[in-house]
Amino acid sequence: MVTYEEMRIVMENAEKERNQASYSVTPEEMQRFKINDKLPTLISTKKMENDKKHGVTATPGYGLIEEQCLISEATLKKTINRSIRVTRTFLYKFTIGLHMSIDEANDLFNLCGGPLRETDPADYICINYLNTKDDIHKFCEQYKEYIGKNLTR
């Protein structure tokens, strides 16, 4: 769980970083904006690994991900089929729901805007929950409390 004091410090640092923002981009930084088909494939692979771990077939596996990660079956299918793009909020729920390590999560986040950063408030909350392997419902509550966006319906 993230404390108010921790979030206050992270928010202050994020505000300082925004005030010092540079609008120039290096060629290396541009690589993260290229269309990348590898991320949906990795998500599909992680889903299949979860199916095997729990001894279910592909179709019930979607329902299992819905329970564990609070990601609807339709959204997961559209993401894997590349009908919609992968967002960081999708990855927050996916990685926390599947209790991934930070290294496993960063394999996915590296393909979606860069690795998790402790200076970003939303990333900081995700890092905290990946370390503690805490409940996805508590994560969604704290995300809404600190970031102001609801991750569930």
pLDDT for 108 equals 95
The band of 99, judged by pLDDT with boundaries at 50, 70 and 90, is very high
The band of 79, judged by pLDDT with boundaries at 50, 70 and 90, is very high
Q: Write the Ramachandran bin of 119: left for phi over 0, alpha for psi from -120 to 50, otherwise beta.
A: alpha
pLDDT for 136 equals 94
pLDDT for 35 equals 56
For 105, counting Cβ atoms within 10 Å of its Cβ (0-12 exposed, 13-18 middle, 19+ buried), the class is: buried
pLDDT in tens, 21-71: 566 667 776 666 555 679 999 999 999 999 999 999 999 999 999 999 999
Q: Per this entry, what is the length of the chain?
A: 153
Rounded distance, CA 7 to CA 70, Å? 24
pLDDT for 32 equals 60
3-state secondary structure string across 67-107: HHHCCCHHHHHHHHCCCCCCCHHHHHHHHHHCCCCHHHHHH
Lowest mean pLDDT among 10-19, 55-64, 116-125: 10-19
- Provide the whole-model pTM: 0.81
Which is more confident, 135 or 15?
135
